[in-house]
Structure 1
Amino acid sequence: MGNVDEQPVGIDELLERVRAGYTRIEPQEAYEAAQSGQALLVDIRYAALRERDGLIPDALVVERNELEWRLDPQGSHRAPEATSHDLLVVVICNEGYASSLAAESLRRLGLHRATDLVGGFQAWRAEGLPVTSGAGAQA
């Protein structure tokens, strides 16, 4: 826990601090890294957004509340894709805010290359990158 004398931090300042600790990735760069097998895209949007807006092909869908358990390479509940602490994980939320906090959490687990997508899924879609129908999306 923090020092009792520390002043509370607002979410905007917290995001600034978190994002200062790593380099975020733009949609086109994330797409190219995933296509070349150099990155794992992880969609943490909730089901209603995935159903409404669609899915990024080949992205691993993990609910935010399961993220650390599914991506910890040493965890008993890890996803098969969670192979190493050296894995480049690109966390994707709807607009690129919650994903920053999620990426920081993964970095604390030792996934030192974890990052998040600038602008989230909405930026991905705006760039014209591939999206499939969200109907029947799995959680």
Structure 2
Amino acid sequence: MQPRPVHAAHAGTYAGDVSPQLAWQWLQSGEAVLVDVRSDAEREWVGFVPGAVAVAWKQWPGMVLNPRFDGAIQQAGAGGRKLVLLCRSGVRSIAAAKRATELGLEAYNILEGFEGDPDEHAHRGFKGGWRHHGLPWRQN
């Protein structure tokens, strides 16, 4: 399967959207850094991508904004490194990419997120997402 290209529809708010496959390609080539913006609980209970930088956008419990997000995302993007942001479904990572862009970073949203959209039974992991595409991940 050929990776989908970067979509520039969000010019001005964040760098764009990339497919999970293209994000993985960029990671392998050293072209980008993967930032997992899910909560610590999600990474611990659902799974994580080895080598990803963990910078929660919102934290459990209560899903309140992470007060340390700005400093941590700036550190992840230090030196002008391109960032690809991952959340559960590709929604929180858009908000995080917008904030990273406001901070002067080149930030992309990974489409479909880690788990993808819910299927007809409201289960995730079967309709798109990082895991569904067979990309590297682990579970504790």
- Under a length normalisation based on structure 2, what TM-score does the superposition of the two structures give? 0.71
Specify the code of the residue in structure 1 equivalent to 2:52. Answer: A
Q: What is the deviation of 1:47?
A: 1.9
The residue that corresponds to 2:77 in the other structure is: 82
- Under a length normalisation based on structure 1, what TM-score does the superposition of the two structures give? 0.71
Alignment root-mean-square deviation, CA: 1.4
Q: Distance in 2 between matches of 1:94 and 1:35?
A: 21
The residue that corresponds to 1:13 in the other structure is: none
1:46 aligns with 2:36: no
The residue that corresponds to 1:99 in the other structure is: 93
The residue that corresponds to 2:124 in the other structure is: none
Q: Deviations over 1:27-70 (max 9, x none)?
A: 00001101111100000111221122211011001122132111
Task: Describe the SS at the equivalent of 2:48.
Answer: coil
Instruction: Give the length in aligned residue pairs.
Output: 107
Q: Deviations over 1:65-124 (max 9, x none)?
A: 13211122xxxxx3xx4322x32101111100011011011101111x211100111110
Match of 2:24 among 11, 28, 31: 31
Alignment of 1:1-139 (within 5 A): 20-21=10-11, 22-64=15-57, 65=66, 66-72=68-74, 78=75, 81-84=76-79, 86-111=80-105, 113-122=106-115, 123-133=129-139, 135=140
Q: What is the deviation of 1:20?
A: 2.3
Task: Describe the SS at the equivalent of 2:130.
Answer: helix
Gaps of 5+ in 2: 1-8, 58-65, 116-128
The residue that corresponds to 2:118 in the other structure is: none
Larger Rg: 1
Q: Identify, as 1 or 2, the structure richer in helix.
A: 1
Q: Are the aligned partners of 1:93 and 1:121 in contact in 2 as well (CA < 8 Å)?
A: yes
Structure with more relative contact order (C-alpha pairs < 8 Å, separation 6 or more): 1
- How much identity, in percent, do the aligned residues show? 34
Gaps of 5+ in 1: 1-18, 73-77
Q: Deviations over 1:12-39 (max 9, x none)?
A: xxxxxxx622320100000110111110
After superposing on structure 2, the runs of 4+ consecutive aligned residues of structure 1 that deviate more than 6 Å are none
